[in-house]
Amino acid sequence: MKALSVRQPWSWLIVNGHKDVENRTWPPTKYISVPQRIYIHTGKKPDNLDRDRVIRIENLIDDVLPFYRFMQYGAIVGEVDIVGFERYSKSPWAESGMCHWQLENPVAYPEPLPYKGNLGLFEVTL
User: What 8-state DSSP symbol labels residue 120?
Assistant: S
CATH code, domain carrying 72: 2.30.130.30
CB-CB neighbours of 49 under 10 Å: 15
Model pLDDT, residue 5: 94
Q: What is the pLDDT along the chain (126 residues), one digit of tens a residue?
A: 999 999 888 898 899 899 999 999 999 988 889 999 999 999 887 777 656 666 677 777 766 555 556 678 899 999 999 999 999 999 999 999 999 999 999 999 999 999 998 888 999 988
Model pLDDT, residue 126: 80
Model pLDDT, residue 68: 59
Model pLDDT, residue 55: 67
Q: How many distinct structural domains can be found in the chain?
A: 1
The amino acid present at 55, given as its one-letter code, is I
Range of the domain at 103: 2-123
Model pLDDT, residue 51: 62
Beta bridge partners, 39, equal 3, 79
